[in-house]
Amino acid sequence: MRVLFTFAGGNGHFRPLVPLAHDLADAGHTIAFTGEPSMIPIVEAAGFTAFPSGPNLGSDGKRRPLLPVDRDREDADFRDGFVRRTAPLRADDVLALSEHWAPDLLVCDEADLGSMIAAEKLGLPHVTVLVMAAGALVRPDLVDDALNEVRAVHGLAPQRNLESAYRHLVLSPFPASFRDPRFPLPPTAQSFHVPVPGRGAAPDWYVEDRPTIYFTLGTIFNTESGDLFARVLAGLREVDATCVVTVGNLIDPTEFGPQPEHIHLAKYLPQDDVLPYCDAVVTHGGSGSLLGAIAHGLPMVVLPMGADQPHNGDRVAELGLGTVLDVIDATPEDVRNAVTSVLKEPSYRDAATRLRDEVTAYPPPATVIPLLEGLLR
């Protein structure tokens, strides 16, 4: 079968689709991706055929000041940005692409509601892959009315409770217990687990018998972080641990000046190369970074900035996986104390280990391939 993978957004929307795409290709199916134009080189570098669609939603590379967390603003950004403005453009582009690429099945990230409309218009089944861990941003009370406005333009009947997104098959890489209980998984959901690699050759920065901390603000919010990198680095200076810090490809690590020997700055390092050697993670709480920490059973210090990160931070605190700091008010001393606490207090690692064991028990992506094939029968 011919499977078109679609995503609206950046790496956080693309990466969760990759393991499924590889397994489908290994099973002999034809694969292509479509996403925002700025992501096409990244998709092609991962070895896939890729077509541009919709507007660019990711970082434009400009540095912006750090804003206080505002959940109402983030709700409006998702409803008006991803649904009202982006979904119509993506629906049109995916419909046009499908005329010549002729997919049998669409696999869409959960935020790509326009591609789901295209699938419905084409009479094709689609699979929804969850990319937001807590499940509290893409929610019916926020999305339904705006989505129905877009559906009406395409002559589709109104829907409620995101039933159009969940109608066929929903795949989740996240532990079910992490999801906000107010928004349970739909009946069509199937959990899966992407096995994480173990330790390879030890990196140059690794020191045996010394804790290791990984600090990241992801690939989008790093350029909207103001002085947050500087404050966290100042806090990590006072922590007795090896600290690996990635600032993103759009930021020059040298702008932060000389660092002590235990702090190692880089633009980018693959999580799979870092996390097997870590004892805790400091993160903005993006779902990809969070899932990486959970998959390795690592406690966290979370500094939510926007999007679904505040919701993820809520669940980290509620489940005892770590501590949450305010991005505006957090001082270097707060960072130092939080990191020291998650390293020394066993309850955080115990909670992280429980979630690691939960997600590890899920089947690998290859076992859900028959479910996708069955949608065509």
Delimit the domains of the chain by residue range: 2-193+362-374, 212-360
The confidence score (pLDDT) of residue 219 equals 82
The 10s digit of each residue's pLDDT in 355-371 is 999 999 999 999 999 99
Coil vs helix vs strand at 25: helix
- Please tell me which of 56-60, 114-118, 254-258 the model is most confident about, judged by mean pLDDT: 114-118
Residue 107's closest CA among 2, 1, 4? 4
pLDDT at 213: 98
Tally of CA atoms within 13 A in the half-sphere of 212 that contains its CB: 19
Quickly state the pLDDT bin for 374 (edges 50, 70, 90): very high
Please work out, in degrees rounded to the nearest 5, the angle formed at the alpha carbon of residue 246 by the alpha carbons of 242 and 247. Answer: 135
C-alpha to C-alpha distance for 8 and 308, rounded to whole angstroms: 15
Mean pLDDT score of the chain? 95
Query: Taking a C-beta distance cutoff of 8 angstroms, is the pair 364, 192 a contact?
Result: yes
pLDDT of 60 higher than 70: no
- Cα torsion 303, 286, 61, 336 to 10°: value is 30
- At how many degrees (to 10) do helices 332-344 and 346-360 cross? 70
Q: What pLDDT digit, counting tens, does each position of 206-249 carry?
A: 999 999 999 999 888 888 888 999 999 999 999 999 999 999 88
Q: Which residues contact 219 (CB under 8 A, 6 or more apart)?
A: 10, 11, 12, 58, 59, 248, 249
Residues 61-80 have pLDDT tens digits of 678 899 999 999 999 999 99
> What number does CATH give the domain 212-360?
3.40.50.2000
Between CA 319 and CA 322 the distance in angstroms is 8
In this model, does residue 58 exceed pLDDT 80?
no
CA distances from 124 to 103, 109, 168, 371, 376 (A): 8, 16, 10, 15, 9
- Residue 133 pLDDT more than 80? yes
Q: What is the pLDDT of residue 223?
A: 85
The proportion of the chain whose per-residue pLDDT surpasses 90, expressed as a percent, equals 91
**pLDDT tens per residue, range 315-352:** 999 999 999 999 999 999 999 999 999 999 999 999 99
Phi, psi (deg, nearest 5) at residue 167? -70, -25
**Residue 59 in this model has a pLDDT that exceeds 70:** no
Spatial separation of the C-alpha atoms in residues 310 and 182, rounded to whole Å: 15
The superfamily in CATH containing domain 2-193+362-374 is: Glycogen Phosphorylase B; (3.40.50.2000)
Amino acid 198: pLDDT: 86
Q: Considering the entire predicted model, what is its pTM?
A: 0.95
Domains 2-193+362-374 and 212-360 share a fold: yes
Main-chain phi, psi angles of 4, to 5 degrees: -105, 115
pLDDT band of residue 250 (cuts 50, 70, 90) is: confident
Instruction: Compute CA 65 distance to the chain's CA centroid, rounded to the nearest angstrom.
Output: 22
CA nearest to 344, candidates 232, 241, 233: 241
